[in-house]
Structure 1
């Protein structure tokens, strides 16, 4: 278990966005101003016991989020992310980080790239369990037939992120 971590919040076109960091490694991120909402998404084995606001310690992550919204979609992919789960989810999260901005995969294609073509539900589960949105871009995975599928922060935000990346 991580003893302590820091968090910082910034404004985005989709509302407040908070990042929970351990040093400069992202543990969790999402559209909320409440860091406690993000902590529950962090695997219990690495979940910090305490968090404190520290804009300096999370500056790189916040800068990456701001750069993303200005069109530098690679900025969020340059920071380290720490998540924990079983082998398939760990591979799946690494696979998500390799999907280029502006591209999408169906859940089936994502399962194939993550190493198990029959694990479509597990692939969707990896997206749902992702604690570090944007940094691990689960919004780039869509349902077959062109439907958006789910997204913790709403399909409207998912759609707008995909549109932003293709402008």
Structure 2
């Protein structure tokens, strides 16, 4: 592999009340993947192939990104809002992820409502797919989407984590 094919990324893990939280970030500081794991491979596997890093550089901190994660878990629910995220997919998923970033903490929506906010009210399954394919958990807060009636539905990082996040945001 020549040097032009290498896509490096930085990775850091911090302790949170839910467990270890790892972020994979591009050299320009955009979050490519994140979640409650200590294993970066769990994150790189869901990053779109065109963005997937070919080299990971372990860091103690990712600066503002790491601080936002710590601040969010400590109670500043808006700390994650200004962090840049980079995800790649088709037009609907990319748009849905942008919409999801605008769902306020403490105001979860149903999958049906999320589909409507994303401009496709009949596309509940597509909205659920946007949550399932989200590589940047927390920064793209798919935990804020619930089933009708308030049931939790799925969450890549487990229902206990989703439950904690929703309670934290109340």
Please report the TM-score for the alignment, with normalisation by the length of structure 1.
0.96
Please give the alpha-carbon distance, in whole angstroms, between the structure 2 residues aligned to 1:5 and 1:133. 17
Corresponding position of 1:128: 132
Corresponding position of 2:71: 67
Greater helix content = 1
Please give the alpha-carbon distance, in whole angstroms, between the structure 1 residues aligned to 2:165 and 2:116. 24
Quick check: 1:38 aligned with 2:43?
yes
Quick check: 1:107 aligned with 2:105?
no
Deviation, structure 1 residue 2: 6.7
Q: Number of paired residues?
A: 165
User: What are the residue-to-residue correspondences of 1:45-56 with 2, within 5 Å?
Assistant: 45-56=50-61
Deviation, structure 1 residue 135: 0.3
Deviation, structure 1 residue 54: 2.0
Please report the TM-score for the alignment, with normalisation by the length of structure 2.
0.94
Structure 1: gaps spanning 5 or more residues: none
On the 8 A contact 1:2/1:47 being kept in 2, the answer is: no
Moved over 6 A (4+): none
Deviation, structure 1 residue 78: 0.8
Corresponding position of 1:89: 93
Structure 2: gaps spanning 5 or more residues: none
On the 8 A contact 2:18/2:164 being kept in 1, the answer is: no
How big is the alpha-carbon RMSD for the aligned residues of Structure 1 and Structure 2?
1.1
